[in-house]
Amino acid sequence: MSVRLDKIVTRGGDLGVTSLGDGARIRKDDPLIEAIGCVDELNAVLGLVRLHCANREELARIQNILFDMGAILCIPDRQDEQGQLQAAVLWLEGWSSRFVNLRRL
């Protein structure tokens, strides 16, 4: 017999706040939450793209970088990892600019 779960809620965000990875509470309209959501959404889209393209290894690498970025963003006070976040952003900017330049040719 299987269990059917119709509704799963914690009610932890009903007052307009949510938890970060370190347990800190932050407003849901904070730009950090927007950034975490954007990184997560991009990662999900890349997962779908990987299903339909030939260059899966490169996209898998990018997804791993995005997972790491999300982990760093969800615990923002870890100063030791901020350099890794900046390096990841620079690498992704360089990677994406290759395709913008190819499109212009």
% residues pLDDT > 70 (the chain):
90
Banded model confidence at residue 82, pLDDT cuts 50, 70, 90: confident
φ/ψ of 10, rounded to 5, equals -105, -20
Banded model confidence at residue 96, pLDDT cuts 50, 70, 90: confident
In a domain, 6, yes or no: no
Q: How many CA atoms lie within 13 A of 13 on its CB side?
A: 11
In a domain, 4, yes or no: no
pLDDT at 43: 95
Between 10 and 87, the more confident residue is 87
As for how many domains the chain has, the answer is: 1
In a domain, 8, yes or no: no
Question: In this structure, what CATH number is given to the domain that contains residue 77?
Answer: 1.20.1200.10
Q: Which amino acid is at 8?
A: I
Model-level pTM? 0.79
Could you say which DSSP state residue 79 is in?
A: G
Banded model confidence at residue 26, pLDDT cuts 50, 70, 90: very high
Average pLDDT on 49-69 reads: 90
In a domain, 84, yes or no: yes
Q: How far is CA 24 from CA 9, 18, 101, in A?
A: 19, 8, 41
In a domain, 9, yes or no: no
Q: How far is CA 56 from CA 46, 49, 67, 96, 99, in A?
A: 10, 9, 16, 16, 16
SS3 state of residue 30: coil
User: Which residues form the domain of 23?
Assistant: 17-104
% residues pLDDT > 90 (the chain):
48
